[in-house]
Copies of this chain bind each other. A is one copy, B any other.
Amino acid sequence: MTSLPSEATLDPSNWDELRALGHRMVDDMLDYLATVRSRPAWRSVPADVRARLAEPLPLEPTPPAAVYEQFKRDVLPYPTGNVHPRFWGWVIGTGTPFGMLADMLASGMNPQVAEFDDAAALVENRVIAWFVELLGLPAGTSGLLVSGGSMANFVGLAVARNARAGFDIRTRGVQALGTPRLLVYASSETHSSVRKAVQLLGLGDESLRLIPVSSDYRMDVATLRSAIAADRAAGRRPICVVGNAGTVNTGATDDLHAVAAICREHDLWFHVDGAFGALAALSPELRPTVAGIEQADSVAFDLHKWMYLPYEAGCALVRDQVAHRATFTVAPSYLATLARGISAGGFPFAERGVQLSRGFRALKVWMSLKAHGVRAFAQLIEQNVAQARYLADLITAHPRLELLAPVPLNIVCFRYIGPGLKAARLDALNRELLMRIQESGVAVPSHTLLGERFALRVAITNHRSRREDFDLLARTVVEIGDMLAGD
């Protein structure tokens, strides 16, 4: 017999010490979140902190409490900033205190959510069923919690590719001889993750047709229709149209009913990128904005954006569960299932996406939906839309601010306009203005280009924002703008 040294473990030698440390962490983090309004929305990581974080490989242990002290000194004070009530950059959710605690429970329980016979799988399936109902898709629609919108789009488009290619693409590959070019259509305002997915799936940019938008940033459906017809006539094979529920630039939603009708007519897969916009469906008041989403073959959305939950949580829904599973199933011998025991029933989650090993992100979703109730989320989503309209009103009312796009949802694009400033100067001024606002710590908007114009962009997926925060933003933009215009 092999002789073993005395056996080690990563469990603590003193559980009470770790318990005390855990209590301090809970206290500190809740204090951190309760007082976040008093801190800057963002600040750059100082050079001395950067230097301290450039540590050599830690071969020997450091007491857990000392590691935690370093976290508090060098990491916690320099967050992205999205926990702050005036962070509105890109589309980034806030996180919640209760979600944080749920994430701790998930990590401690640490299930492998491939869909063993365990409670975690039941919880995830339940959460998926709830979202199927909320978005109005038919019961039995398949789904999967994923890392976020990029992966959810990838899942939807992977199934679309395989289900509509017209040949066995899993076996033969996209390059199968004698097959036509496969085409995916989406508006020019579509999120870059769709292009990324099309590239990764082996279709290539030449397979992505970007359809222009009208002045409200919604897909020009007539152009879509004629593009499909032209491609068909040329012997190419349209397979999918991506509709947007809330574009990243302006929050525009395509005419999903019209897109759905075109897809039905031509037997195309209808995928909806609803990263944040899909959640508008939770509100009876906003639901008409995304009407037609219930006709999608697949929908991608995030729960860490407009559901405010901590990272990472996205969701992909796929109406045709057979097509869904057929895209991701691989069945090696070590995953063969038995009639009874822990693996009875197989590993359905692994057959709905890229991951085989999967964490329990479903727990924070399940606990948060129950603790807050769906209506609270709907109310907050409505509140963010109202705040966007409030900000748009402030902008419209101010002579030196210009609204640059319609505000159908929660995104406001605008700029400072000084008297007599020319286009190029305006762009440079607003660019500098944005950097100064971020550096001031007052607020974090981000930016985009709209018709070549540099726009300050405020995306409100923040449950901590109040009306006064938008007053402060408008005031600060004007102050900094005036100062820069006077230079």
B161, B354, B447: the one contacting A338 at CB < 8 Å is: B447
Which residues on the B side are within 8 Å of A116 (C-beta)?
A: 80
Evaluate contact between A110 and B98: CB separation under 8 angstroms.
no
Alpha-carbon distance between A133 and B97 when the two chains are bound, in angstroms: 36
B98 pairs with A107, CB closer than 8 A: no
Interface string of A357-385 (1 = CB under 8 A from B): 11110011001111111111001100100
Q: Which residues of B contact A249 (CB under 8 A)?
A: 333-334
A147-B355 in contact (CB<8A):
yes
A19-53 contact mask (Cβ, 8 Å, vs B): 1 or 0: 10111011101101110000000101100011001
Is A271 part of the contact surface with B, judged by Cβ < 8 Å? Answer: no
Closest to A391 in B: B2
Q: From known contacts A179-B175, A367-B67, A449-B336, infer whether A342 and B386 are also in contact, taking CB-CB under 8 Å.
A: no
A431 to B439, CA, bound (A): 64
Q: Is the CB of B118 within 8 A of A45?
A: yes
- A103: Cβ under 8 A from any B Cβ: yes
What size tier do the contact residues of chain A reach? 35 or more
Query: Complex: how many Å from CA A59 to CA B356?
Result: 32
Q: Is A483 interfacial (CB-CB < 8 Å)?
A: no
Q: Is the CB of A60 within 8 A of B104?
A: no
Q: Does A170 contact B (CB under 8 A)?
A: yes
User: Could you tell me the distance in whole angstroms from the C-beta of A407 to the nearest C-beta in chain B?
Assistant: 11
Q: Which of B11, B49, B207 is the one whose CB lies under 8 Å from A173?
A: B207
Q: How far is the CA of A75 from the CA of B118 in the complex (A)?
A: 8
Closest to A357 in B: B148
Stretch at the interface among A216-224, A307-315, A316-324: A307-315
**A472 interface hit (Cβ, 8 Å):** no
Chain B residues near A457: list those with CB within 8 A: 334
Q: For the complex, is A285 an interface residue (Cβ under 8 Å from B)?
A: no
Partner of A59, one of B1, B8, B71, B373: B373
**A140 close to chain B: CB less than 8 A:** no
The reply to whether A438 and B342 contact each other, CB–CB distance below 8 Å, is: yes
Q: Is A261 an interface residue (CB 8 A)?
A: no
Using CB atoms, name the residue of chain B closest to A111. Answer: B80
Contact, CB under 8 Å: B101 / A103? no
Q: Which residue of B lies closest to A63 (CB)?
A: B371
B-side contacts of A200, CB under 8 Å: 158, 200-201, 354
A94 interface contact, C-beta 8 A: yes
Q: Which of A442-473 contact B (CB under 8 A)?
A: 444, 446-449, 457, 463-467
Q: Are A174 and B80 in contact (CB under 8 A)?
A: no
**Is the Cβ of B4 less than 8 Å from the Cβ of A342?**
no
Partner of A375, one of B60, B103, B119, B310: B60
The answer on a CB contact under 8 Å between B10 and A98 is yes
Query: Do A4 and B386 have beta carbons less than 8 Å apart?
Result: yes
Give CA–CA (A440, B393) in the complex, Å: 66
With a CB–CB cut-off of 8 A, which chain B residues contact A112?
80, 82, 90, 92, 311
* Chain B residues within 8 Å of A149, by CB: 356-357
**CB of A100 closer than 8 Å to a CB of B:** yes
A358 to B312, CA, bound (A): 6
A463 close to B119 (CB less than 8 A): no
Answer whether residue A424 sits at the interface, using C-beta atoms and an 8 A cutoff. no
Q: Which 4 A-B pairs have the closest CB atoms?
A: A202-B202, A173-B204, A311-B359, A95-B110
With contacts A25-B26, A50-B122, A173-B207 known, what are 17 further pairs, Cβ within 8 A?
A: A2-B389, A4-B386, A10-B376, A29-B109, A61-B371, A62-B371, A75-B109, A75-B363, A104-B107, A169-B204, A170-B204, A173-B206, A175-B176, A175-B179, A192-B332, A193-B330, A340-B439
* A/B interface sample: 30 pairs, CB < 8 A: A2-B389, A10-B372, A11-B34, A11-B96, A15-B34, A18-B101, A19-B27, A22-B26, A45-B122, A55-B126, A57-B133, A71-B367, A80-B118, A81-B118, A82-B111, A89-B343, A100-B108, A103-B103, A103-B107, A107-B364, A147-B355, A169-B202, A173-B202, A175-B203, A193-B330, A201-B202, A248-B334, A311-B359, A314-B357, A334-B457
